[in-house]
Amino acid sequence: MKVIYKITYPNGKIYVGQDLTDSINYFGSANSDLIAKDFTREQRRDITIRKEILWGSEFASDTEVTKKEIEFIQELRSNDPAIGYNQWPKFKG
pLDDT tens-place string over residues 32-65: 999 999 999 999 999 999 999 999 999 999 999 9
Contact indicator for 11, 38 with CB cutoff of 8 Å? yes
Look at residue 67 and tell me if it is in a domain.
yes
Residue 30: domain span: 2-76
| pLDDT at residue 93 greater than cutoff 90 | no
Rounded to whole angstroms, how far apart are CA atoms 14 and 2?
20
In this structure, is residue 82 part of a structural domain? no
pTM of the predicted model as reported, rounded to 2 decimal places: 0.95
Q: Tell me the residue ranges of DSSP E strands in 1-93.
A: 2-8, 14-19, 50-57
Judge contact between 84 and 20, C-beta under 8 A.
no
For residue 90, being part of any structural domain is answered with no
Q: What is the mean pLDDT of residues 68-90?
A: 98
86, part of any domain? no
Q: How far apart are CA 41 and CA 30, in angstroms?
A: 19
Number of structural domains found in the chain: 1
Average pLDDT on 13-28 reads: 96
